[in-house]
Amino acid sequence: GEDVEQSLFLSVREGDSSVINCTYTDSSSTYLYWYKQEPGAGLQLLTYIFSNMDMKQDQRLTVLLNKKDKHLSLRIADTQTGDSAIYFCAEEADSWGKLQFGAGTQVVVTP
Amino acid sequence: GAVVSQHPSRVICKSGTSVKIECRSLDFQATTMFWYRQFPKQSLMLMATSNEGSKATYEQGVEKDKFLINHASLTLSTLTVTSAHPEDSSFYICSAIGVLGPHNEQFFGPGTRLTVL
């Protein structure tokens, strides 16, 4: 199986909070990332967290990292229709910048 | 800043022909670029790591003679799919590493949709 695992689908109402979860396996990863992919487009870096941090907040985005459980989450506050996309978490696979991606979570925001 | 472009954005070719995809870092120099392919509703699969001035490093299972990668300058890497077949149809995405923040960030191109008939 994949080293990075995510749930595949999340449906959320506009205005509610979304929480996307991810588990990873490489405890030596220095950075962990969240990317957003809209249909037919490349990946957009949303945020990242350094492995010695527990939490990082950036406007509507909050990243929580539990190193003990190797669990990473992304919370999107006040979810908007423009947040509908696929969200990938990724861990650094080596010191040269290679990333290991999860399968992606499709987030659908309903009015 | 930190823009990565790909050209073409989509290409349709006949089986047996070769297709070249360009990946450019527009406003920064990238010593390392990555090439991924993505099947519908699936994650990105790393194909190879491309370092400027040296041979690319291919991931296990990726045929280096079929997917030729050239990284001739600090702003350009190319992927050539040789003798393309319908099973090569996919979304190809490149990324480039730039030192623009507290650490090396990976910036992604918009992708190239390849359809082989």
Tens of pLDDT along A31-83?
899 999 998 888 998 999 998 899 999 999 999 999 999 999 999 999 999 99
Nearest CA in chain B to A2: B43
Q: State whether A42 and B113 contact (CB < 8 Å).
A: no
- pLDDT (mean) for B62-67: 95
Alpha carbon distances (Å) from B106 to A9, A17, A54, B33 = 25, 27, 22, 9
Distance CA A5, CA A88 (A): 10
pLDDT value of position B99? 67
pLDDT greater than 70 at residue B23: yes
Distance CA A51, CA A35 (A): 17
- Beta-strand ranges (E) seen in A54-93 are 55-58, 61-66, 71-76, 85-92
- pLDDT (mean) for B6-24: 96
pLDDT value of position B29? 87
Residues in chain B with CB shorter than 8 Å from the CB of A42 are 4, 6, 93, 108-111
Q: A103 at the B interface (CB within 8 A)? A: yes
Residues in chain A with CB shorter than 8 Å from the CB of B111 are 40-42
Tens of pLDDT along A8-21?
999 999 999 999 99
Q: State whether A98 and B105 contact (CB < 8 Å).
A: no
pLDDT value of position B102? 59
On average, the pLDDT of chain A sits at 91
pLDDT greater than 70 at residue B103: no
pLDDT value of position A57? 95
Q: State whether B110 and A44 contact (CB < 8 Å).
A: no
